[in-house]
Amino acid sequence: AKLHVLSCDHRLCANCAAEHIVKRRKPVKQSDYVCPVEGCGQQLQQADVKALLSEQEYETYLDSDLKELDSANFRRCPTGCGWGMLLEDALGTSAKKPARNGEVGIDNKPLSMEAIRHRDHYRFRCRRCPNTEFCAMCNTSPYHLGFTCEGYRAHKAKRKCRFCGSEVAGDSQLILKEDSKGNKKALHKVLHARCVDYIPKGASIQALLDLVQRTDELGSLCKQEECVKRAAEACTRVMECGHLCLGTRGESVCLGCLQCGVAEGQGADEFCNICWVAELREAPCVKLKCKHIFHKHCVEKQVKSKWVGARVTFGFLECPLCKQHMEAEAIQDITEEG
Ligand SMILES: [Zn+2]
Ligand SMILES: [Zn+2]
Ligand SMILES: [Zn+2]
Ligand SMILES: [Zn+2]
Ligand SMILES: [Zn+2]
Ligand SMILES: [Zn+2]
Ligand SMILES: [Zn+2]
Ligand SMILES: [Zn+2]
């Protein structure tokens, strides 16, 4: 049988050693994995454990006591399922696949060579929760396809259109220039451009800066006609939590915060149940009398064109979720016509 030499210089039959280490001693933490020779008991090195034990036993070892592991060299599944691996093992086993035809990153752009290399090295799938992909380098989940970790951080920091998510240049009148932070007039100008209609009289510079910060999303708007139109229809109020109202401009009662999820359980990143192609955050929304929330333009379209969506019903005036008659402050005139 194969001989294995441990760091304590004990030579062991690999099969017997494995048997002694795992079956006889029943180790629970990593310091329990020791040389099985009577009177030695020296703790095994990771490489020895890996060489001697089965893959499953090795995983048990890795899981057994993470505090003993050099955390800079260990990666855990970000869901907290408990699965983890040594980075060096991970790098050895990652599958190298060429870019699929038309494969694009999260920014919808084709993968660069650098991005392909990064993907091949650092994109991992948890073995316990196979739908979880993550970056073994920065632990971001899902994996930031199309970017290196560094590039992804820069991408996240960039301004993106609040409706379509495309990157926005920072030169519009909606955006405060760095050197205008102490200038009351400039602050007012930016806030007016953002249609913030509740600037308190005699507000201090700090109060104005706070408002600019809270409405920063309002300033992130691309120049596409569709997005500009949506911005003009969007509510400009900021909730107490500091998030933007995603409702319709001029509504007398706001939706409740869709980002904190307090608006009747419907969240900003859930699909609109009428169009099914866009998240609620992507256009101004209305809350019907039944309290369900949809894109305003989708409700209007459904009412106007008697379009009934994926399911065939004759209920074009019914809420697609609860079948109650569609009524809302912002679309009253339309439902009455209909
Ligand atoms: Zn020994
Ligand atoms: Zn997992
Ligand atoms: Zn990363
Ligand atoms: Zn846009
Ligand atoms: Zn509102
Ligand atoms: Zn909120
Ligand atoms: Zn919609
Ligand atoms: Zn409803």
DSSP 142-154: S--TTS-HHHHHH
Is residue 32 classed exposed, middle or buried when 0-12, 13-18 and 19+ CB atoms within 10 A define those classes? Answer: middle
64 CA distance to ligand 1 middle (Å): 22
Q: Ligand 1 mean position to 31 CA, how many Å?
A: 14
Q: How far apart are CA 89 and CA 70, in angstroms?
A: 14
User: Quick one: which ligand is closest to 328's CA?
Assistant: 8
Which residues lie near ion ligand 8 (Cβ < 5 Å)?
290, 292, 319, 321-322
- Cα separation, 185 vs 200, in Å, equals 14
Ligand 5: centre distance to CA 315 (Å): 28
- How far does residue 260's CA lie from ligand 5's centre (Å)? 14
Q: What ligand is nearest to the CA atom of residue 7?
A: 1
Ligand 2 centroid–CA 79 distance in Å is 6
pLDDT in tens, 33-86: 899 888 888 888 888 998 899 888 888 887 775 544 556 677 778 887 777 777
Q: How far is the CA of 225 from the centre of ligand 5 (A)?
A: 22
Residues in the chain: 338
Give residue 234 CA to ligand 6 midpoint distance, Å. 16
284 CA to middle of ligand 7, Å? Answer: 9
Any idea which residue has 């995603």 for tokens? 246
CA distances from 284 to 52, 172, 234, 296 (A): 61, 21, 5, 6
- Distance (Å, rounded) from C-alpha 151 to C-alpha 153? 5
Q: Provide the residue-wise pLDDT of the chain in tens; the chain has 338 residues.
A: 688 999 889 998 988 888 888 877 778 777 788 998 888 888 888 889 988 998 888 888 877 755 445 566 777 788 877 777 777 666 555 555 665 667 888 877 888 989 998 988 888 888 888 778 889 888 888 899 999 999 998 888 777 788 887 877 655 677 788 888 889 999 998 888 776 766 778 889 998 988 888 777 777 778 788 888 898 899 878 777 777 888 998 888 888 888 776 656 688 888 899 998 888 988 999 988 888 999 999 988 887 776 544 444 445 678 888 888 877 776 654 444 43
Work out the angle between the directed axes of helices 113-122 and 149-157 (0-180°, nearest 10): 110
Q: How far is the CA of 187 from the centre of ligand 5 (A)?
A: 22
Closest residue by Cα to residue 300 from 246, 228, 248: 248
Domain borders along the chain are 3-68, 71-155, 178-233
Over residues 216-239, the pLDDT tens digits come to: 777 777 878 888 889 889 987 877
Cβ(87)–Cβ(136) below 8 Å? yes
- Ligand nearest the Cα of residue 281 is 7
Task: Find the 286 Cα to ligand 8 centroid distance in Å.
Answer: 11
Residue with tokens 């169009």: 275
CA dist 58 and 61 (Å) reads: 5
E strand residue ranges, the chain:
3-5, 11-13, 74-76, 84-86, 123-125, 133-135, 285-287, 293-295
Give the distance (Å) from ligand 3 centre to CA of residue 85.
16
Say which ligand is closest to the CA of 161: 4
Cα Rg of the chain, angstroms: 29
Distance from the CA of 86 to the center of ligand 3, in angstroms? 16
Ligand with smallest separation from the Cα of 153? 3
